[in-house]
Each structure stands twice: as C-alpha cells, then as structure tokens.
C-alpha cells in the first residue's frame, strides 16, 4: 500500500494549525511527512534534522544497502540534480550527456538503474508525457517530482525562494495524486501542458504558475489551455494575491490554497 505524505488539509489537522499564509508557507517548505507532528514546527534546526534523518535512512538503507550501490558520490549528485531540476523533462540519455559535460563519464545503464532505485524507494516520482494530438503515451522524457517536497527542499538546502515555482508544481502534482487522478504531462505542438489528469471517464487539464502578474504571463498560461480543442475542464492554479475562483474562456483560475483545500471542482 503506497502511503503518501500528508495533504495540506491533513497537515492542518496533524499540526493543529489554522489555514493562513504562514501555515501554507510551512507546508510548502517542510512538506507533509507525518513524523513532523512529533517534532513540531517551531524550531527549524529540529525540522531539518528530522528531514535529514529520513532522507539518510532512505538513501543508506532503501537504496545503497539494498542495491549494493558502489558509486555513492555519483548517486548523491544525481539526487541533487533531480532536486535542482524538479518538474523538468528528462531522459536517461539527456542526463548522461549533461553529466559528461560536467566531467562525469557515467553510463546510461547506471543512471537508469539509480533512477529505478529512487522510484522504488518513493523518493522520486516520474510523470510520463501524453501526446494530446496523437492520444498516446510517449515513451521518452519523463518529468520527475519528489514524493515529499520537504525532502526535496532538504536536498537543495531549504528556503530557496527562487525555487518557488518548482515547489508549487511538485505540491500540485502530489495533491492531484491525493485526489485519485492518474497524472501525465500534456504534449502539444505549441508547448506543454503541466498536467493531464484522468479518473474513470473524467479528464482535466492543469497549468501551474507562481503569479499571473502581467498580460504576457496570462497569455502564456491560459493560451496553451485555450489551444486544446475539447470540452474537458481546464484550470490554471497560481499564488496570485487575492485571486478568487473565476472563469475565462472556459478556463478556471484557482488560488493554490483553494485547490489544496477543495481540489478541482
């Protein structure tokens, strides 16, 4: 049974917190591992210490010892690479090429094996691409997200404001899984749709942005959804201040907090 980290509303219950900006920031920063409820959220040193212990246990016990990994230094570098590029499209060959350009001559076979180990330990979750024109799942170039955003933030050093879009996208992906959706990355000729969500006979499209602050950003995020010529529900999720649920050309703009509390409705 795959037990996911806490959703945002579960996080509120476990920590006996009210929903507000400070609490949402804590969730985005520290993630949803339930053991944090015993640690508390008052002392950052204790929080990151707990996340470090969980991370080290996964790496040492579930990956290195279980699979007799010898190139530990590279394995650790690979995790950091995935943390820094959360939500980016990857293939084993593209990773191999990047590592060679960085002075690390590692075979594609080893990279594929290590990636499988991360998936097996639920440290990293791959999301495959779905060709919206050809109506088929593509075999190469997955997006990679962390099973828990707090562990991802620990790997990168925590509190990185420059990473906020990656963090939000990771949290949205995790919450879509909480809602029972199968999630893919949508591939269009004009670009990419962050998430294509399927459940039974239901399909929904989701774009994720930090802020819809200007016309250019609005045109980019809403325009890709407008280019999909079907009648399935379409959403843009952002942290734009004071955003209230509204519809534009059949596309619903949701605030991140509303989405985390009420889902896609």
pLDDT tens for each residue of 13-62:
999 999 999 999 999 999 999 999 999 999 999 999 999 999 999 999 99
- 174-190: buried (b, 16+ CB within 10 Å) or exposed (e) per residue? bbbbbeebebbbbbeee
Q: Measured between alpha carbons, how far is 233 from 263 in angstroms, rounded to an integer?
A: 13
Rounded to whole angstroms, how far apart are CA atoms 257 and 263?
9
In the sheet that 142-146 helps form, which strands lie side by side, from edge to edge? 89-90, 142-146, 124-127
The contacts of residue 265 (CB under 8 Å, 6+ apart) are: none
Beta bridge partners of 89: 143
Selected residue with higher pLDDT from 97 and 60: 60
Q: Is the pLDDT of residue 138 over 50?
A: no
Confidence tier at 67 by pLDDT (50, 70, 90): very high
CA angle 14, 207, 262 (to 5 degrees): 35
User: Cβ neighbours of residue 33 under 8 Å, at least 6 residues apart?
Assistant: 5, 6, 50, 51, 54, 148, 150, 151
Segment 200-217, tens digit of pLDDT? 888 899 999 998 888 888
Q: Which of 91, 95, 183 is nearest to 137 (CA)?
A: 183
What's the pLDDT score for residue 170?
96
| Cβ neighbourhood burial of 104 (10 Å; 0-12, 13-18, 19+) | middle
- Report residue 250 as tokens: 């059949």
Cα–Cα–Cα angle for 116, 208, 219, rounded to 5 degrees = 135
pLDDT for res 134: 54
Mean of the pLDDT values across residues 138-153? 84
**Which strand ranges, in their side-by-side order, compose the sheet holding 251-255?**
136-137, 129-131, 182-188, 191-199, 202-208, 234-238, 251-255, 246-248
């Amino acid at each position: 049974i795959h037990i996911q980290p806490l959703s945002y509303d579960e996080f509120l219950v476990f920590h006996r917190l009210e929903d507000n900006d400070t609490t949402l920031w804590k969730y985005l920063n520290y993630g949803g591992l339930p053991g944090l409820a015993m640690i508390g959220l008052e002392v950052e040193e204790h929080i990151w210490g707990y996340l470090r212990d969980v991370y080290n246990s996964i790496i040492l016990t579930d990956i290195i010892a279980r699979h007799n990994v010898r190139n530990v230094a590279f394995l650790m570098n690979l995790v950091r690479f995935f943390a820094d590029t959360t939500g980016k499209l990857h293939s084993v060959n593209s990773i191999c090429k990047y590592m060679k350009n960085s002075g690390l001559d590692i075979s594609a076979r080893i990279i594929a094996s290590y990636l499988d180990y991360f998936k097996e330990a639920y440290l990293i979750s791959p999301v495959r691409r779905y060709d919206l024109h050809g109506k088929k799942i593509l075999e190469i170039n997955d997006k990679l997200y962390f099973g828990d955003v707090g562990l991802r933030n620990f790997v990168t050093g925590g509190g990185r404001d420059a990473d906020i879009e990656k963090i939000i996208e990771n949290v949205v992906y995790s919450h879509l899984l909480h809602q029972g959706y199968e999630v893919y990355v949508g591939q269009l000729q004009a670009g990419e749709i962050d998430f294509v969500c399927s459940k039974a006979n239901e399909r929904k499209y989701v774009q994720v942005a930090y802020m819809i602050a200007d016309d250019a950003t609005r045109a980019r995020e809403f325009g890709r959804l407008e280019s999909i010529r079907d009648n399935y529900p379409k959403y843009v999720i952002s942290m734009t201040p004071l955003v209230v649920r509204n519809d534009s050309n059949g596309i619903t703009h949701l605030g991140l907090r509303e989405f985390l509390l009420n889902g896609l409705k």
